[in-house]
Amino acid sequence: MQALTANPVAKWIIILILLLGAVFFHEFLVPALGAMIITFVTWRPYTDLVRFCRGSTLLAASIATTLTVLVIIIPFLFLLHYLYGEIMLFRTWLIEANTYGIATPAWLLNLPYGNELGKYWVEYLGTPNGVNLFFTEIGLANLSYVAAVTKSVTKSFSALGFTLLFMMIILFFCYKDGRRVSRQLDKVGERVFPGRWKRISRIVPTLVSSTVSGMVIIAIGEGIVFGFVYYFVGAPMPITLGIITGIFALIPGGAPMSMTLVSLYLVGNHQLTQGIILFCWGTVQLFVVDKTIRPRLVGGAVKLPFLPTILGLVGGVKTMGIIGLFIGPVIMALLVAIWREWVHEDNPRQLDEQLKAKIAKKP
């Protein structure tokens, strides 16, 4: 390869081919990254599955991919279907409010500053054509913008279905040929980053696994638990509120804010006891999770600061859509790994010892 790239013409031809490949296959970047993340997180149990299948990577990859579809993809699609139904109901509610007007709810008036909030409700939701007035004041055309957004959401769901399909195909081959590709990457990596590739390649899977475990799995768990709690205290649309709380839990401070708003709604709706129970339960649960479970999962390899976390989440969603919610924090974790490599450039042995100690702490 070195003899090939020594020729300037051959070098530019290789660069041109790589650029053409990036242009033609950039649409598959998101499913490829998603498949790689799942592979990193589940690689340890997958190796146990390969041993159980007596070394047959084809059988093990088929079983692992099927389990991923059953455990992750199908429930995720059911949640998206339910969320789409809620969006359509909200769209119908807005059209009804714009046509006939909706009376101010009692719970809103019972909140602090409820009278002031009630005036805005009457102006924009309690008066016919008030919703159109609201959209005009914030710079949008009228209620037809909601219909356009709904169509856009429908197209996004369809595109997400194709993305998930290709992600499962790529995931199968990541399982099946992952070990062989890893050995090839080690050879190429040593040529590109001589003396550094071993450290970088060793920390990347640990960073990915800890980031996904610490941020995503805990967020999903909090969403499920809060969904049940919302149901028991009588909050409206508990499944939707649980999903929203889970999404907000990915952002530092998001879950407490979501839980507090639901508690305030219950208090304003003359459900004082239920609101206090929800607030107390949520406070204890979030304290236990944030002070014990999350540091154990995330702090084993990397603890992302607040700003990189926000940039990773917002930038990921804006660039790659829903899947970017998972990929953004991982990219920030990789940037942290590169930063640490530079910081310890003068003392690589210290970095090696730190990485070995952190990886050894992983369960």
Q: pLDDT, tens digit, for every residue of 99-152?
A: 888 888 777 777 767 778 888 888 878 888 777 777 776 666 555 656 666 666
Alpha carbon 199 to chain centroid distance? 27
d(CA 235, CA 190): 56
Q: Please, are residues 351 and 341 in contact by the beta-carbon 8 Å criterion? A: yes
Break the chain into its structural domains and give their ranges: 1-178
* Surface-to-core class of residue 127, CB atoms within 10 Å of its CB (0-12 exposed, 13-18 middle, 19+ buried): middle
d(CA 229, CA 222): 10
**Which residues make Cβ contacts (< 8 Å) with residue 46, sequence separation at least 6?**
39, 60, 64, 175
pLDDT value at residue 67: 93
d(CA 304, CA 213): 13
d(CA 208, CA 228): 29
Alpha carbon 53 to chain centroid distance? 32
DSSP string, 8-74: HHHHHHHHHHHHHHHHHHGGGHHHHHHHHHHHHHHHHHHHHHHHHTTT-HHHHHHHHHHHHIIIIIH
d(CA 51, CA 48): 5
pLDDT value at residue 172: 93
Q: pLDDT, tens digit, for every residue of 150-194?
A: 666 666 667 777 888 888 999 999 999 988 988 888 888 787 777
SS3 294: helix
**Which residues make Cβ contacts (< 8 Å) with residue 105, sequence separation at least 6?**
121
SS3 324: helix
**Which residues make Cβ contacts (< 8 Å) with residue 316, sequence separation at least 6?**
324, 325, 326, 327, 328, 329, 331
At 203, the pLDDT band (50, 70, 90 cuts) reads low
∠ Cα 340 341 342 (to 5°): 90
* Surface-to-core class of residue 30, CB atoms within 10 Å of its CB (0-12 exposed, 13-18 middle, 19+ buried): buried
Q: Please, are residues 297 and 218 in contact by the beta-carbon 8 Å criterion? A: yes
Q: pLDDT, tens digit, for every residue of 246-287?
A: 888 877 677 888 888 888 888 777 778 888 888 898 888 888
pLDDT value at residue 363: 44
Q: pLDDT, tens digit, for every residue of 43-97?
A: 889 999 999 988 888 999 999 999 999 988 888 888 777 777 777 787 788 888 8
∠ Cα 172 26 78 (to 5°): 55
Q: Which amino acid is at 35?
A: A
Instruction: Summarize the confidence of residues 334-342 as an average pLDDT.
Output: 74
